[in-house]
């Protein structure tokens, strides 16, 4: 079969990204323009500012990507783009750019669910094997997904309130760390001791998660110490929080591995960059004799290579869209 080159576009939040991926697994070029430096002044992503930055960046990012790959649009087989979920204004910029390229150059248009993209970041490291279990942990999502084959997503459970990354960012705020706090908490936890007692949330028999209670427990702990004029050990708090998060994630993953007879496990999303989570889950998989992979650290957070990788499998299925497709701020993975 001839090689297939997919150009991916991702703009669902605060990263404008374009990538070219060959045959769903080989990254040719990726450009990511991050807006973190702008949004961190506000303690989180400001949707209107994000959209305006995407407008500024999108054509430059696409041009740079083609240049880096030493390719022209005529060499591309299809355009894959994140249609949702995400910030509606941000999504629209990437989607309109993709539609325009598709229309002008007569290339098939492939809409990709953002979470499907995160999952397929793993395919760029090691070809995914089925049936598999995916733990999706990002700033907006916490989901356990079962896949019996490519593009077949069964959501086993998810968060009932906050996403795990959101919780990392809020805990970071409590200790005065700028957005996005996840990577900082990860590093602080490494040097701290898990001395603070925090509750294990939704420690039940379901595949669901809950992180808002844990977030409140951290806030209350910090307030109580402040009222008693006792010093908060930030590293110990980070370690205590991370210990609870890794425990609850591993517990639900273990349940799914056992009940679904899983032989292949992957993790996806921004929080999949977390070293303690990687360590805990790899240990669990080793014990259970389950093969596993993690995305490359740079492809845990939002990027277009993951969208192009997923897009390849839609391409093989001829799953193309016409130009009236709209962006969706929320949409179930299916």
**x-or-dash string of contact with ligand KG4, 2-41, rule CB under 6 A:** -----------x----------------------------
Q: How far apart are CA 307 and CA 98, in angstroms?
A: 12
Q: Given candidates 138, 210, 267, 303, which one binds Zn ion under the rule CB under 5 A? A: 138
- Least CB distance to ligand KG4 at residue 170 (A): 9
DSSP structure class, residue 266? E
Is 180 near ligand KG4 (CB under 6 A)?
yes
> Residue 162 binds which one of Zn ion, ligand KG4, none, with CB within 5 to 8 A depending on kind?
none
Q: Name the helix (H) or strand (E) containing 109.
A: strand 109-113
42 and 73 Cβ atoms separated by less than 8 Å: no
Both tokens of residue 196? 């603070």
Partners of 5 in beta bridges: 22
Q: What are phi and psi of 197, to 5 degrees?
A: -90, 120
Residue 269 as a binder of ligand KG4 (CB under 6 A): the answer is yes
Q: Is the dihedral of CA 104, 110, 115, 121 positive or negative?
A: negative
Query: What mask of x and - would describe binding to ligand KG4 in positions 283 to 312, judged by CB under 6 A?
Result: ------------------xx----------
Segment interacting with ligand KG4 (CB under 6 A) among 98-106, 195-203, 253-261, 265-273: 265-273
Among 302, 305, 315, 333, indicate the residue that binds Zn ion (CB under 5 A).
302
- Side-chain half-sphere CA neighbours of 249 within 13 A: 34
165 lies in the site for ligand KG4, by CB under 6 A: yes
Which of these ranges, 24-32, 254-262, 299-307, 315-323, lies near Zn ion under the rule CB under 5 A? 299-307
84 binds, among Zn ion, ligand KG4, none (CB under 5 to 8 A by kind): none
Indicate which single residue of 94, 139, 192, 295 sits in contact with ligand KG4 (rule: CB under 6 A). Answer: 139
Helix segments in the chain, DSSP class H? 36-39, 47-69, 88-105, 114-120, 164-174, 182-191, 212-227, 234-259, 275-288, 305-316
Q: How many residues bind Zn ion (CB under 5 A)?
A: 2
Q: What is the Cα–Cα distance from 89 to 166, expressed in whole angstroms? A: 20
Minimum CB distance to ligand KG4 smaller for 232 or for 275: 275
Is residue 188 at the binding interface for ligand KG4, with CB under 6 A as the rule? no
Instruction: Give the span between the Cα atoms of 33 and 29, in whole angstroms.
Output: 13
Report the DSSP beta bridge partners of residue 84: 113
Q: Which does 8 bind (CB under 5 to 8 A by kind): ligand KG4, Zn ion, none?
A: none
Interface contacts to Zn ion, rule CB under 5 A: 138, 302
Interface contacts to ligand KG4, rule CB under 6 A: 13, 138-140, 165, 168-169, 180-183, 186, 269-271, 273-274, 301-302
């Amino acid at each position: 079969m001839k090689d297939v080159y997919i150009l991916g576009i991702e703009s669902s939040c605060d990263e404008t990204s374009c990538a070219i991926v060959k045959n769903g697994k080989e990254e040719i070029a990726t450009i990511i323009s991050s807006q973190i430096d702008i949004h961190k002044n506000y303690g989180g992503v400001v949707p209107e500012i994000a959209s305006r930055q995407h407008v500024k960046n999108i054509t430059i990012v696409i041009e740079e990507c083609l240049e880096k790959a030493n390719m022209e649009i005529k060499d591309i087989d299809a355009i894959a783009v994140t249609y949702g979920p995400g910030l509606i204004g941000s999504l629209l910029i990437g989607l309109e750019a993709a539609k325009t390229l598709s229309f002008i150059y007569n290339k098939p248009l492939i809409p990709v669910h953002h979470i499907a993209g995160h999952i397929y970041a793993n395919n760029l490291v090691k070809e995914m094997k089925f049936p598999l279990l995916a733990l999706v942990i990002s700033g907006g999502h916490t989901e356990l997904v079962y896949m019996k084959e490519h593009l077949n997503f069964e959501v086993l459970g998810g968060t009932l309130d906050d996403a795990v990354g959101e919780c990392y960012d809020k805990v970071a705020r409590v200790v005065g760390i700028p957005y996005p706090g996840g990577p900082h908490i990860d590093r602080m936890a490494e040097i701290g001791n898990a001395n603070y007692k925090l509750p294990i949330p939704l420690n039940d028999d379901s595949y669901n998660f809950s992180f808002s209670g844990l977030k409140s427990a951290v806030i209350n702990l910090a307030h109580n110490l402040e009222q008693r004029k006792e010093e908060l050990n930030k590293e110990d708090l980070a370690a205590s929080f991370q210990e609870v998060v890794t425990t609850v994630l591993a517990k639900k993953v273990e349940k799914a591995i056992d009940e679904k007879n899983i032989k292949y496990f992957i993790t996806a999303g921004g929080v999949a960059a977390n070293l303690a989570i990687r360590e805990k889950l790899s240990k669990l998989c080793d014990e259970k004799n389950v093969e596993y992979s993690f995305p490359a650290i740079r492809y845990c957070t939002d990027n277009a290579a993951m969208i192009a990788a997923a897009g390849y499998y839609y391409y093989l299925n001829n799953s193309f869209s016409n130009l009236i497709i709209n962006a969706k701020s929320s949409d179930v993975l299916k």
